[in-house]
Amino acid sequence: MSATITFRKTKSGEWVAYGPAELIKPGPVVVSKKDGTTVEEVIERVGAPFDVGGQPMVYGYLAPAACVNCDQPGATHHRRDSSGIPGKVCDRCNREPWYMLSFA
Ligand SMILES: [Zn+2]
């Protein structure tokens, strides 16, 4: 069994980090994607461990990404700023026109 953290979709349709209990703690973790690349996510809380083949496994619930425009949590919209830099913004900043956004 590989000791890596991967993404898993829960029954409610939420993406979570899934891996050995000793690897998933609140805070930043590196998650391996299906295409072999990795991405850093922040674990907000860890679910109850459950046994998979004798190893305790957990779901790590991801903290909402911070808005790249105003630094508030809850960024869910993909946008580009006035310089063309891609990033995720919150609901409020998503209402701004592109030339008002600045991610750098
Ligand atoms: Zn914002």
CA of 13 to the centre of ligand 1 (A): 24
pLDDT per residue as tens digits for the range 58-103: 999 998 888 999 998 888 899 999 999 999 999 999 999 999 999 9
Q: Distance (Å, rounded) from C-alpha 96 to C-alpha 13? A: 29
Whole-prediction pTM value? 0.65
CA of 69 to the centre of ligand 1 (A): 5
- DSSP state string for 58-94: EEEEEPPPBPTTT--B---EEEE-TT--EEEE-HHHH
**58, 61, 72, 55: which is closest to 27 by C-alpha?**
61
pLDDT per residue as tens digits for the range 21-47: 999 999 999 999 999 999 888 899 999
CA of 94 to the centre of ligand 1 (A): 7
CA of 104 to the centre of ligand 1 (A): 13
Intra-chain end-to-end CA distance of the chain, in Å: 40
CA of 52 to the centre of ligand 1 (A): 40
Q: Distance (Å, rounded) from C-alpha 93 to C-alpha 101? A: 8
